[in-house]
Amino acid sequence: MERTLTCPRCHADLLAEQEYHGIVVDRCPSCEGRWLDSDELDQLEATVASTPAERRATIRYGERRSELLCPICGKAMTSFNYRAYNLELDVCDDHGYWLDGGEEGRVREIIAERVRGLARAGDAEASWSRFLGGLRRRGSSRR
């Protein structure tokens, strides 16, 4: 069954289906915003080379009532800071996510940044362990 959705941001009459990184999302031709069904945010994050463990984290910080209404059920959505970054998304807990124009690219950048940060943290931990191991070996040879 085909659905017709009205843009929650600019109220354009019809969101058009568009493929974005292999995911079919609903895009507003007027403001370029995108509606992602509940599982499609996970799919968008997975378009960045990463493992599920690298993407695992709390997604919603600083939740508050949004001025936007869900294009499916008409209820007020919830705004939140995505993964504690300076990126505000809107969600209907029952139906999905609204991303304003360009925010889909920012989601991908944040996941890539998270993967790089975890790799740096792993490298730093390994270096620290090697350093401590060297101190222990030197300390035991002095006895």
The full set of domain ranges for the chain reads 38-141
CA 124 from centroid of its chain's CA atoms: 25
Specify the higher pLDDT residue, 137 or 91.
91
The verdict on pTM exceeding 0.75 is yes
Min mean pLDDT across 1-10, 45-54, 71-80, 134-143 is at: 134-143
SS3 33: coil
Confidence bin at 121 (pLDDT 50/70/90): low
Percent of the chain residues topping a pLDDT of 90: 63
Min mean pLDDT across 37-46, 47-56, 58-67 is at: 47-56
Tell me the CB-side half-sphere exposure of residue 89, using CA atoms within 13 A: 25
Which amino acid makes up residue 71?
Answer: P
Burial class (CB in 10 A: 0-12, 13-18, 19+), 56: exposed
Count of CB atoms within 10 A of residue 134's CB? 10
Residues contacting 100, CB < 8 A, separation 6+: 9, 31, 32, 33
Tokens of 1: 């069954």
Mean pLDDT of 12-18: 91
